[in-house]
């Protein structure tokens, strides 16, 4: 792939520097210029004996990680549930898997993650439970400050993410704009800022030099 355009050149300069910022906060972090390299890096973290699960994420699909673990690992897949009750049980079991894979709503260039969630299962796994968490981060999600990251989660990620849920009546589903609603259907119930990784190295951040998932 030609990486001489200004966007990719910027990503290739900035990505390794952001990875170092994450490492300074206890994360294991690496910059991969391409989705192919990102997939190879992610797979290197996951033993074939690991039980793997995931939260809702376009990024893990775009780099091919979710299809890979479906083929090579035992998985806990909530989408395999036959009933709503079974789906909830699978989401609970996912909190005790070996490896949890996910994207992020924003990454701050000083080495922090910003995530917003409706049910809370994705951010719960990020905070505690699985032995390790692998976070796939397109460089388009890297922002200068925490405040801008939270704003991105509300105004970019959530209004686009709501499209995955048919027949939801939130303001963003109707207008495409965040109204900071408090309706029962809100997918913005939890906002989590991960500023330090504990235990050290539990969260693996893979920065990818491409635009992934919900692009601004």
184 strand-pairing partners? none
Cα(128)–Cα(21) distance, integer angstroms: 22
Q: What is the pLDDT of residues 103-162, one digit of tens each?
A: 999 999 999 999 999 889 999 999 999 999 999 999 999 999 999 999 998 888 888 777
Strand order in the sheet with 190-194: 142-143, 106-108, 112-117, 190-194
How high is the pLDDT of residue 1?
A: 66
The structure's pTM equals 0.93
* The two three-digit tokens of residue 199, written as one number: 């235990």
Helices and strands in the chain, H and E counts: 9, 10
Architecture of the domain delimited by 6-111+122-143+197-208: 3-Layer(aba) Sandwich (3.40)
pLDDT in tens, 163-211: 777 777 888 888 888 888 888 888 888 999 999 999 999 999 999 999 9
Residue 8 DSSP label: H
Write the pLDDT tens digit of every residue in 12-34.
999 999 999 999 999 999 999 99
Q: Is the pLDDT of residue 41 over 60?
A: yes
CA distances from 85 to 81, 90, 91, 122 (A): 8, 9, 10, 18
Query: Tokens standing for 107?
Result: 């990454």
Rounded to whole angstroms, the Cα distance separating 53 from 8 reads: 31
User: Is 144 exposed, middle or buried, given 0-12, 13-18 or 19+ CB atoms closer than 10 A?
Assistant: exposed
Residue 86 is predicted with a pLDDT of: 96
> How far is the C-alpha of 189 from the C-alpha of 183, rounded, in Å?
9
Q: Which residue has the tokens 């893979």?
A: 206
Question: In this predicted structure, what is the pLDDT of residue 36?
Answer: 97
* pLDDT in the model for residue 158: 83
Q: Distance (Å, rounded) from C-alpha 32 to C-alpha 160?
A: 26
Scan for tokens 């709501």, then name that residue.
162
pLDDT attached to residue 214 = 65
In this prediction, residues 60-84 reach a mean pLDDT of 96
Residue with tokens 């235990």: 199
Residue 216's pLDDT is what? 54
Instruction: Report domain extents, the chain.
Output: 6-111+122-143+197-208
């Amino acid at each position: 792939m030609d990486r001489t355009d200004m966007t990719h050149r910027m990503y290739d300069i900035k990505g390794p520097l952001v990875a170092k910022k994450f490492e300074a906060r206890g994360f294991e972090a690496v910059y991969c210029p391409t989705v192919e390299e990102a997939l190879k890096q992610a797979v290197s973290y996951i033993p074939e004996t690991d039980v793997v699960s995931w939260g809702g994420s376009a990024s893990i699909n775009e780099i091919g990680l979710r299809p890979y673990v479906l083929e090579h690992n035992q998985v806990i897949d909530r989408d395999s549930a036959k009933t709503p009750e079974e789906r909830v049980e699978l989401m609970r079991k996912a909190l005790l898997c070996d490896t949890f894979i996910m994207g992020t709503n924003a990454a701050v260039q000083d080495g922090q993650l910003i995530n917003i969630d409706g049910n809370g299962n994705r951010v719960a796994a990020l905070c505690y439970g699985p032995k390790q968490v692998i976070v796939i981060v397109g460089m388009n999600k890297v922002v200068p400050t925490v405040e801008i990251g939270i704003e991105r989660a509300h105004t970019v990620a959530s209004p686009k993410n709501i499209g995955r849920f048919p027949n939801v009546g939130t303001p963003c589903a109707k207008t495409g704009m965040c109204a900071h609603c408090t309706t029962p259907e809100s997918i913005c119930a939890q906002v989590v800022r991960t500023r330090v990784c504990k235990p050290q190295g539990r969260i693996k951040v893979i920065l990818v030099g491409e635009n992934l998932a919900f692009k601004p």
